[in-house]
Structure 1
C-alpha cells in the first residue's frame, strides 16, 4: 500500500520545509523538537479525572492518570518512546490520557533516565524498579495488582518487553504487555530496515543514531534486556498486543517478536497498520488511524485485563 493520505500530507509538509532530522541536531535541540512535534501531533489535551506527579523511593518520577471510579483499578505502567535518548513524561502525556479514559484504567508513566548520559541498562532498571514500586504501593495508589499491565511505544515498547523478562523472574506479576512498534533486536538487517531510507521520515539512520546513544558498549546489544528477541526463552511472559506500522524500519523485528511470543505459548495478537509510519501512535490529533489504534489498544487491554 502507499502511504496513508494523511501521512503523505505530513511528509510533504516536512519536505517542503526541508525539516531537519533529529539525528542532525544537538541532543538539546532534538529533545525540544521531539516534544514540540509530539505535542503538535497529539492535538488538544484530553482531561482526565485525576492526575498527579509522584517520585519513587529511588527517585524515579512518575505521573499517575486515574479515571473516575472507586477502589483498586486495572493499571497500565507506560514507558515513553524516544530511542532511550529523547522523550519524557510530557511526550507520553497525550497517549496516557487517552488510554486512561478509553479502557478505562489507571495509567502511570515512568520518567526513566535517558542515554547517553545514562546508557543501558539504566532505563531498563528504572522501568523494572518503578513497576515493582507501583505494585508494592498498590493500596495507596489504588492499583489492582491482579490486573497490572506494562506498555510503551518504540523504545518504550522495548523497555516494556525487557521489564516483562525481568518480572518473570523477580516480580511483580504482569497481566498484559502492550508493545507499540518496539525495538527488539540491535543491528537488525531486515527487509523493513533496508527499505527504511526516507529522508523525511524515521529511517534506519535514526535507528542507528539511537542505538549509538543507548549502548555504551556494542556488545551490550546481545543482552536480551537490550534485544528482547534474543532471550533464551519467551515462555511464561504475559499476553501481548504487538502493534507495527507498514512503513517503519522496526516493523519486521516487532513482528518477529510477536511470532516468538506466540511460538512460546504466549497469547499474542499482532496488528500491522498499513500506510502508517513510525511514531503514528502519538499523532491522534492529525491521524485518523492513530485514534483507531488507541481505541484498538484500549479494547485489547480491557478484554485482557478483565480475563486476568
Structure 2
C-alpha cells in the first residue's frame, strides 16, 4: 500500500493498493472522507471517464475527492484496462472485479457492504451502468445506487448538427438556464429556444469523438448491441439500483443518457434525471471554472447521501444469461 497525492480538495487520507483482477493486478485508490464517525460507513466505487481509452486515476482524482467530502463516504477508484490494447469487455470485468472485492472486504475496510454505490462520468458512466447489469445477473454484490454522469449508454453516432446541441425530437434545444439544473424526472420540460448557429460540428467533444472512442473500444462490430457495451439495449432493466442521471445540454451523449433514465423509470427503477442547460460534456469535472460544475457535484453528493440513508432494496435477478459475457 502506498500513500497517493492529488491536486483536488483535501481529504482525510488517500492510499493505493493492488488487487487481483481478471487480467492481472488492478490498482485501487481509496479516498478516506473527513470526520469518519459513521462506521461501518458507506462506499462509492467511482469510474473515471476517457472514452475507455484515455483517462486515469489521476484525471478522476478531483471528482473522487469532492464526492468523498460531499458524501462523507469512502470513495474507491479503479485503474481499469484501456482500449485499444484491451477492448470490450475487459474494462467492464475489471470494474466488476473491483466492486466484488470491495464488497467481500468491506468489513475490514470499515465499510458497510449493504451501502455500496457505483458511479462514473462519460465512459465511466457507461461502465457503472454495465456493472449494475452484471451484478444483477450474477446475484450481487448489492448496489444501493448508481450515479451516471453524462453516460454513454448506446452505440450510436449522432447525426450532423446534433453533436453538441443534443436536440430533442422536435429539433429544438432546451433554453433557459437555472443555476442548479433542471429536474426532468417527472417530465417537466423547460421552454424551447432556437438552435444556435453552431455550424457543422464545432465542439471539441462531438459525434466524431464518440465514433473514434467506440471504434477503439469494440473488438467486434456485433458487440455494439451487447448490453454491457450499450446498456440502453438491455432487454430488461427491472431490478436495477435506483439511479441519478446527470446530463449536459450541449453534449452528443445527452439524448442517450436521458433515454436510459427513461428506460430505467419505465422498468420501475426510481430515477432522478437532471439536465444542466448551457453546459458542455465534461462540465462535472470543472467546478473551479463553471458554477454548474460545482452545483452538479453537490447535487450528486446529496443524492448519494440520501441513498445511503434509505433502506436497501434487494436487487432483482432477471437478466438473461447472455448479458454476462
In the superposition, the TM-score normalised over structure 2's length comes to 0.79
Query: Can you list the C-alpha shifts for 1:101-141, whole angstroms capped at 9, x where unaligned?
Result: 01111100011000000000000000011100110111122
Is 2:158–2:207's contact at 8 Å kept on the other side of the alignment? no
Separation in structure 2 between the aligned mates of residue 261 and residue 193 of structure 1, nearest angstrom: 24
Query: Please, what is the CA RMSD of the aligned residues?
Result: 1.5
- 1:239-278 equivalences under 5 Å are 239-278=242-281
Shift of 1:76: 0.4
Separation in structure 2 between the aligned mates of residue 232 and residue 188 of structure 1, nearest angstrom: 21
Structure with the bigger percentage of helix: 1
Query: Can you list the C-alpha shifts for 1:67-97, whole angstroms capped at 9, x where unaligned?
Result: 1314211100000000000001111100000
Unaligned 5+ runs, structure 1: 1-38
Is residue 70 of structure 2 the alignment partner of residue 102 of structure 1? yes
Is residue 77 of structure 2 the alignment partner of residue 146 of structure 1? no
Separation in structure 1 between the aligned mates of residue 232 and residue 8 of structure 2, nearest angstrom: 35
- 1:95-174 equivalences under 5 Å are 95-170=63-138, 171-174=140-143
Is 2:126–2:229's contact at 8 Å kept on the other side of the alignment? yes
In the alignment, which residue of structure 2 is the partner of 1:36? none
Q: Runs of 4 or more off by more than 2 Å in structure 1?
A: 188-201
Q: Provide closer, same or farther for how the CA distance between residues 302 and 195 of structure 1 changes in structure 2, counting only shifts above 3 A.
A: closer
SS in 2 for 1:270: strand
SS in 2 for 1:60: strand
In the alignment, which residue of structure 1 is the partner of 2:12? 49
Separation in structure 2 between the aligned mates of residue 96 and residue 286 of structure 1, nearest angstrom: 17
Separation in structure 2 between the aligned mates of residue 121 and residue 189 of structure 1, nearest angstrom: 23
Is 2:150–2:246's contact at 8 Å kept on the other side of the alignment? yes
Separation in structure 2 between the aligned mates of residue 255 and residue 202 of structure 1, nearest angstrom: 18
Query: Can you list the C-alpha shifts for 1:156-214, whole angstroms capped at 9, x where unaligned?
Result: 00000000000012110000000000001102547844856533421000000100110
Separation in structure 2 between the aligned mates of residue 143 and residue 167 of structure 1, nearest angstrom: 19
Which of 3, 11, 28 does residue 62 from structure 1 map onto? Answer: 28
Separation in structure 1 between the aligned mates of residue 147 and residue 165 of structure 2, nearest angstrom: 26
Separation in structure 2 between the aligned mates of residue 100 and residue 131 of structure 1, nearest angstrom: 17
Is 2:107–2:113's contact at 8 Å kept on the other side of the alignment? no
In the superposition, the TM-score normalised over structure 1's length comes to 0.83
Unaligned 5+ runs, structure 2: 1-5, 167-199, 313-325
Pairs aligned (count): 266
Shift of 1:57: 2.2
